[in-house]
Structures are given as structure tokens and as C-alpha cells.
Structure 1
Amino acid sequence: MSTPLVLAIDQGTTNTKALLVTPDGRILQQASVPNHVDYPQSGWAEQSAIALWQGVQAAIAALLAKADGAQVAAIAISNQRESIMVWDAATGEPIGPCVIWQCRRSAPKCEALRAAGHAEIIEQKTGLALDPLFPAAKIAWLIDSLPGARLRAVRGELRAGTVDSWLLWRLTGGKVHATDHSNASRTQLFNTQTLQWDDELLTLFDVPRPLLAPVQASDSEFGQTVDGVTALPAGIPIRAMVGDSHAALFGHGVRQPGTVKATYGTGTSLMTLTPQRVRSGHGLSGTIAWSTSVGVVHALEGNISVSGQAAAFIAQILGVPDVAALSAMAAGDSNGVAFVPALVGMGAPYWRSDARGTITGLSLGTQPGHLARAAIEAIAFQVADVFAAMQQDLGFPLAELRADGGASQNSVLMQFQADLIDRPVSASTAPEVSALGAAALAFEGMGITTGSAAPGARFAPHMAPDIRARHLDGWSAAIRQTLTQ
């Protein structure tokens, strides 16, 4: 009998990837398609929902062309989270853009809710701080931006969903509208204690209930493919859907509290499992890691809005071609320069949507290499802030950090990260941990035992305590200046 294969779709902000994965976590073939992000005005960020779907179609076609004759047993989806779209239930056509997680266009709505005193109840029910990062207020913007759309939403003629729901709808030819607990828990409309869409939250955010999808376990059989929509044949089950950060935690093999996962991408998400549902007192999000037939698993998460993108931004400012070139020109230290990349506000643990990026510590001795180094250090400093907040919330020390994503292959960054948090950092050799995690969920949902992402280079902390303290004090001063400007 041939080895069963899962086709894992990893739909991210920057790229859409398709991979053929074996139960032991080997990637037999993969394909990738780049995605485009539009910034139509300051603070806004969006993508074309149709282009995202076309990217999935192209990635699947390219993958199957490389793996001629491969028999796909199931599909697994990991997806960029907090990005939302609304589409016509009859035609499947989007009524507007996919408003992505980085977008701040819903900031006025969030501020109005805060001014009216609703932030506390929202965080109590969802575990999420009231912030434009989350989709709830974006849904109202989408249906109010098109004449007649709100009435159509109330009548059940429209559907809203995160990217997982959109892809499921398309793969099943419009037959299935569903999501999983991990994605639902990021919408700010889902009560993570009752595990239901919450009527009070729907009212506060002006979201009609008929828009929303039923919520299922992450390893459910969500539906089956139909003919003609992709290069896949009909009848292949979609056997797992999970947010990309959650999928990465699963892919790292984390099943018990005590270890933190950090995915270094456009932004960075840190996540750690918790023994039960936890409400953060230190600027983090209580969330659902994943769900299976056994039950729901809870976690703490810290979302950093701009991390890898911070290095890309400084590379552009300095006129170097890419982040690799920036890393090559980085000096051995930043010479007192600090870069706080609040380019779309600040996420965890500060949650200041009004913050803007700052560069401090400039002097006549500052060279481009110092600024390049400051950009790389900014990624590690932000992660260290969230790591510290997690330990404060949990009340016990965390043992290690497991890293994945493109920047995790930067040994200078990983060593500095280990030094700042004073814990070992393991950088996975598998560059596609989110896809592997989603595939593992699908396999396990089918009763097939899986492996986890292979550990890669391990970085042990070796920075002297006084030097570490000096670095952290300098970063804290830069943060204070950013938040008071």
C-alpha cells in the first residue's frame, strides 16, 4: 500500500505555498506563488481575494506538475489570520478587498468602542485586546462600504470569512462555509469560553450573524473538492484547517506548556500552550491553539506587527537589494542606535495603534552598518518583550524558544535572540513548519501517526548579565520615546 500524502496549502501574506507531505514530515515536492499587498492609503493594507485564490490554484497546479501521478489523500490548510473578506453567497464573487491583518482602517470603530467603555467586555470574552488587527470591525467596514450590502448580509445573501473559509468555499465549489476554532478565536466575535459566536459582540461590532460560518474542530473533514476548480480531482477531503501560527506550534511538536514557538515572518507570532483558558494581564492574547475530537487546546499569544518587514524596510531606505544584503552589511553592534519599527502601530505587549516608528541614538559616528544592525536587533528585542510578558502571565519560567520562518535562518539574529531572553533558541531546519503542522493535524485526524519538524541549529545564551541589561535598558528607553512622541 502506498504512503498517504497530504497536500498542505500554506496561504500567507507574502506567498502561497503548496506542499506534498508524508506522515513522517518529509516534503516530497513544493511550489510557491508570490502575493501582492496594496497600501491604498496610510495605515491601510489589503489584498485581492480573487488573486489569493488564483495563487492557490497556480501553486496546486505547479506542485502536481512536479509530482506527476501523486495520489493525494487529503488537503490541509494553514492560513494568514485576521485577514477578512466578504463575498456573494450565490456567485462567490467578493464584494470588496481582503482586508488583511496589518490594516488599520477600522481604528476609528475600535476607538469608539473603547471610548464607550466596551474594551473590557470584549477582552473578557475573546481574550483579545481591542485593536484594529482583529477582523470584527473590518467586517462592518466591508459591508458598509458598498450600498445595500448590509441589508444583503442580514438577508443571508453574503458570506464573511477568514482566508481558510474563503479557500474552503472555493475548493468545494461553494458548497461549504465553515471555519475552525483557531481562526474563529482570532476574529474578536467568538467567545472562547462558550465556544460560540457571541451575540453581544456581534451587536457591538455591527456584524449580522448570517455572515458567519459554523465553527468546527481543526481536524474535521470540512468538505471535499469538486471538479474543475483546481488541478485536483473531485472527492479529496479537506481534512484540516488551522491558523498559520497555531499550525507552526503543532508542527514544532509542542503538546505541553513550557515551550514558546516564534514564527519570524512579515510580523512575528509567539505562542505557548496554557493549562487552561488564560486571560493575559500583560498585553498578550488568550487564544485557541487548535481543536480536535478530544477537545480545545488553549494558548497565549503575542502578535508583533512588523518584524521581518522591519529589516526589509531599512534595506529599502539604505538602498540595498534585500534583507540578505542588509545582514551582510550589518556591523557587529548598533553603536547605540535603536530602531522601533512601529510602522503600522505597535502590537503586543503595547497595543498602541497610534505609535509610529522611531530611530534613536544617532550620532556623527553612525554608519549604515549600525542602522542595519539596529534593524536586525529590533526583531529580537520585540520578541524578548513578548517572551517576558508570557512568563509574567504564566507565573513560571519558560524553558526554550523554537523558531521558524525566514529570519530564523539568520544565525546572528538567533544568537542575539538567545542572549536577550537568556534561554536556548532552536531554529527549525524545516522552512515550512506551518504547512507541516497543518498536514500533521490532517494525518492525525485520519488516525495516522506523525512526526514533528526536525530541530535545527541550537543557540545557547552566552551574553554577560550586565551587557544584557544594558541592551534591554536601551531598548526600553527607545520604546518610551516612541510611545510618548
Structure 2
Amino acid sequence: MKKASLVIDQSTTSSKVFLIDEDGKILDRASLSHQKYYPQKGWAEHDAMELYQNMLDGCKRLVERHPECEFERVSITNQRETIVAWDDCTKEPVYRAIVWQCGRTYKRCQELIKEGYEPMIQKITGLKIDPYFSATKMEWILQNVDTDLDSLKFGTIDSWLIYKLTNGNAHATDHTNASRTLLYALDENDWNEELLQFFSIPASSLPKILPSDAIFGYTDLEGALHEPIPIQGIMGDSQAAFLAQLCQEEGDIKMTLGTGSSIMMYQKERIPQQSSLVNVLGYRLNDKLAYGIEGIVNCNAECLNWAKEDLGLFDSYDQIDDSLFEQEPSLLFVPALTGLSMPYWNAEARGAFLGLERRSSKKDLLAALIDGILFQLCDALDAFPKSLSALRVDGGLSKNETIMQRLADLSQKTVEVSLHEDLSAMGAWMAGSRKQTFEKETRSYWPEMSIEKRNRKMDRYHRAIDCSLMMATIDHEERKWKEWNTIADSA
């Protein structure tokens, strides 16, 4: 009987499940998309029960389709900073999952920065104060949702799925996910008591932290399996790709292109950052510990999803080819659909097209949009120490050859693209199976654009960024003025 693992990749847009054999070969897959909710400007939510049910349905489909397989384990990789809060008695969420993209705590984060708390928090966690991370999401739930603190549980998506898969018997997470909450001390590799008190998060509500290759519990997939199998191999999606890209030497750097994007460079030891980059825990296995520095881009492929699904700029990704760039785009696009992350860290910034004229076409808009996505990635790359190694790229956008050649041109780096279907899933499989590597192929792209032309393009993009940030400032001042008038009228 063939042995195989079920590997769950629960992302911002869908729940994918892979059936992977002992040698790291993907035998089958299932994928289910879920609803995304935007109840207010800048807010983003998921239905946590829908995420769980989709994941479970995907697993059951593969089990039914492969009765010849002996299922060894379930592994999970997941969207990171998204938070679920649930009641331990009812085993039901008390509120929708607050997504990593959600900007509802921007004002709270700005207050903390102005009060001078960022250096203290960055020293402990390696991260910046930003709505992107989880702690202020938990704090918001505690302040705005009627909950019973005695039975309240918090967790990132991995923790929620583990809890449901084990019928509430395991409340656990791994170090990579815990390290994204603003509550985890990188030097201690544990929850930090000072930060728990600072954000008023009860320690009893948080999951136990385990190495990614530990056994987190057992599941029979709600009766789909004849007997329970271990849940083993848990990693946040970007760190899972980092492991699968075999980033193990100083200067090794990978870029994962998903809904948002993560650029991560290996560091043997933690070196505190004073730039727009953040420190990260690369992975924590029983016998391995790796650190890194990360550049975060919070709206990447999401821009193309918006262009395709909402604007109708294109119907198929086959339409994104070299013909788009037969003439260099004169339009500019700022991809700040959910604010700007590094190096600006401004959650109030909004996207913009600049240079529109009557003859501007869908093709012009799409070409500008793709360049805007890539300019944003180049901004992030420019913040890193100069690396001698190639840029190792994976994720959905990496499948498009035109976009990858454009990335090589605009970054002025050699781009080495993994041809494997899903490296985040493979990283979780590596952790669960405790395998060191797997077979994969790559395709390389080299810069063909002159550095002078590239620099001119980046300069134009930065002027567009200035416009976006200026509008964010105007909007902020207008809100303050309205708030002041409201207070004055009530007085």
C-alpha cells in the first residue's frame, strides 16, 4: 500500500490540499475558494468555519479518491497573521477571522508609535507596530466583541484548524506562526509576558508553541479515516517556502509571490534591524533553528485578481505576454489597494493610476498594473543587503514568463524560478516527514534592461508613490477636521 501525506495549504483566497508521497511527489490535489468580506473601508475578514469546512472537504475528497493509500500524517501551511477567536465550550468562532490585510487597528498602531513603544516591541519581537500583525487584532476583539474570557481561545489559522481537527483536544501552534503575533520573543522563542500584559492578552487564551516537526495532535478527519493519524509539519506559508527553497547560507534570498508577497533572506543569527525590514524566525525544528530578515509586500497578486475579477482588464493569464510591453507603459500604477507596507508602512495609502488620457486602453492599464506590482517588489529588494546569490522565486505569479523576465529587468537580479507547483506545501511536507529536500526544477531569467533605463522607471514610480502618500495625508487631515467639528458641535 502506497504511503502518503495530506498537506493543507490554507491561503488568503483558497484552501488547497495536496496528496504527497514519501518521495515528495504530488499525486493529487483539491482546491476550494472561500468568501472574502470587507465590512468597512480597510477591513478584511473570512468566515473561520468556512475555512475549516473547505479544508476538511478537500481532505475527504482525496481520501475517497485514493483508497489504495496509507495516510501517514496531516501537515498544514497557512496564511500567517490572520486571527481567529473562538469559545472553547461551544468550539465556535466568536467573530469572523480578521485577515492579515485588515487595517482596522491602524489608528491604535499609530497611537502606540507616537507614544514611543515601537523600539521596545521591535527589540523583543523583531517586528514593527502595524495592523498587519496579530496582537492589535486580538486586542480589538477583546474590546469590541462580547466574550467569556474563561473560555476564549485565540489562534492563527493553523491553530484553529488543529483545534477543529482534534475536536478541541489540541490548542497549539508552531514557532513560525507564533512569531508573527507581536507577542513572541525571538530571543526566548516563547510568548513574552511583558507584551501579553501590554496588549492585555490572557496567557490562557493562547496556544502552546511547538517545533514545526513535532506532533500537534491526532485526527481522523471527522470519520473519513479508519483511525487517527498525527498532525505533524506546521509552518506559516512564507517560512514553509523559505525551508523548501533550501535557504541555508548567508545571503540566500527567496521571494514568494502570493496575494501578498514575502522576501526573506537567511541569517545564521538574529541581527536586529533598524530599517524597513523586519527580523523573522525562518524555521524552528527539533534540531534546527534559522533566522532571517523579511520584506513584506501586502498587495501583489491581489492587484491582478482585482484587475481580472472586478475591472475585467483581462480574462485569462495567457493574455499577459510580451505584447503588453511592445511599447513601454506611460501610465503608472501604485498598488496600495490595502495600504503600503515596506518601506513606507502606511496603511492609509491607497492605490492610484496616474497619467490617464482619453486613448488609454485596458492593455495600457494592465501593463502599468504589472509594472506597479514589480516596482513595489524592487523597492522591497533595494532595502536588503546586496546578495550575491540568485533571487529564488515561487508562488502564483512566478508561473508567468513575461512577468518573471520583467522582474529580472526591473530588479537587475538573476531570477531563479521554481517550477514546482507549491513550495509552501512542500515546506510543510518537509517538516512533517523530516526530509531534507525533494526533487525540483528551476528556470532562470537574466536582466536585459539597462540599469539607466531601470533607474528612470523607478524614479517615475517613486513620484507616483509621493502622490499616493500625499492623498493619504489629506484624507487623514480631513478626518481629523471632521472629528474636531463633531466634538465642537456636540459641545
Q: What TM-score range do you get, normalising by the shorter chain?
A: over 0.9
TM-score by length of 1: 0.92
* Counterparts of 2:75 and 2:271, CA distance in 1: 28
State the distance in 2 between where 1:340 and 1:197 align: 37
Match in the other structure for 1:459: 445
Distance 1:337 1:21, change over 3 A: same
Contact 1:170 1:229 survives alignment (8 Å): no
Q: Output the CA distance in 2 between the equivalents of 1:73 and 1:315.
A: 39
Q: Quote the Cα distance in structure 2 between the aligned partners of 1:384 and 1:320.
A: 24
Over 3 Å counting, the alpha-carbon distance change for 1:228 and 1:64 in structure 2 is: closer
CA RMSD of aligned residues (A): 1.8
Q: How does 1:253-268 map to 2 (within 5 A)?
A: 253-268=246-261
> Are the counterparts in 1 of residues 333 and 352 from structure 2 also a CA contact under 8 Å?
yes
Question: Secondary structure at the residue paired with 2:16?
Answer: strand
| Matched residue, 2:485 | none
Distance 1:404 1:233, change over 3 A: farther
Query: In structure 2, the residue corresponding to 1:75 is in which secondary structure?
Result: strand
Equivalent residue letter for 2:225: L
CA contact (8 A) 2:299 2:335 kept: yes
- Describe the superposition over 1:115-160 as per-residue Cα deviations: whole angstroms up to 9, x where unpaired: 222111111111111100111011121222223x2xx32x3x1110
Which stretch of structure 1 is more off in the superposition, 357-366 or 71-80?
357-366
Aligned equivalent of 2:416: 426
Q: Residue 476 of structure 1 aligns with which residue?
A: 462
Which runs of no fewer than 5 residues in structure 1 stay unpaired? none
The one of 395, 398, 416 equivalent to 2:406 is 416
CA deviation profile, 1:2-37 (whole Å, cap 9, x unmatched): 554221111111111111112332101111111211
Give the C-alpha shift of residue 461 in structure 1. 1.3
**Runs of 4 or more above 6 Å deviation:** none
Structure 2 segments unaligned to the other structure (5+ residues): 472-491
Q: 1:49–1:453: structure 2 CA closer, same or farther, 3 Å change rule?
A: farther
Paired residue for 1:17? Answer: 16
Instruction: Tell me if the contact between 1:344 and 1:356 (Cα under 8 Å) persists in the aligned partners.
Output: yes
Match of 1:215 in 2: 209
Q: Distance in 2 between matches of 1:334 and 1:357?
A: 21
Per-residue deviation at 1:453?
Answer: 5.6
1:335 aligns with 2:325: no
Partner Cα separation in structure 2 for residue 89 and residue 334 of structure 1: 56
Matched, 1:305 2:291: no
Structure 2 CA distance for aligned equivalents of residues 322 and 137 of structure 1: 38
**2:222 paired with 1:229:** yes
Task: Specify which of 183, 194, 198 is matched with residue 200 of structure 1.
Answer: 194
Between Structure 1 and Structure 2, how many residues are aligned?
470
Aligned partners of 2:342, 2:21: CA distance in 1, in Å?
35
**3-state DSSP of counterpart to 1:347:** coil
Sequence identity percentage: 34
Q: Aligned-pair distance for 1:419?
A: 1.3
Name the CA shift for 1:253/1:232 in 2 (closer, same or farther; >3 Å).
farther
2:384 matches 1:390? yes
Contact in 1 for aligned 2:2/2:69 (Cα 8 Å): no
Deviations 1:309-362 (A, max 9, x none): 112223356434545266257343453211011111111222111111122233
List aligned pairs for 1:34-113, cutoff 5 A: 34-113=33-112
Q: CA deviation at 1:77?
A: 0.6
Show the counterpart of 2:236.
243
Deviation, 1:94, is: 0.7
Q: By how many angstroms is 1:364 displaced?
A: 4.9
**What secondary structure does 1:330 align onto?**
helix
Supply the AA of the counterpart residue of 2:166: T
Cα gap change, 1:24/1:424 in structure 2, threshold over 3 Å: closer, same or farther?
farther
CA displacement, residues 365-395 of structure 1 (integer Å, 9 cap, x when unaligned): 533212110111122111111111122xxxx
Q: Distance in 1 between matches of 2:439 and 2:315?
A: 27
- Distance in 2 (CA, whole Å) between partners of 1:355 and 1:389 is 20
Cα distance between partner residues in 2 of 1:341 and 1:229: 42
Q: What SS does the aligned partner of 1:287 have?
A: strand
Of 199-208 and 85-94, the range deviating more from structure 2: 199-208
One-letter amino acid matched to 2:75? A
Matched residue type, 1:183: N
What amino acid is the match of 1:137? T
**1:191-215, Cα deviation, whole Å (9 max, x unpaired):** 1111121122122222121111111
Residue 248 of structure 1 aligns with an amino acid whose one-letter code is A
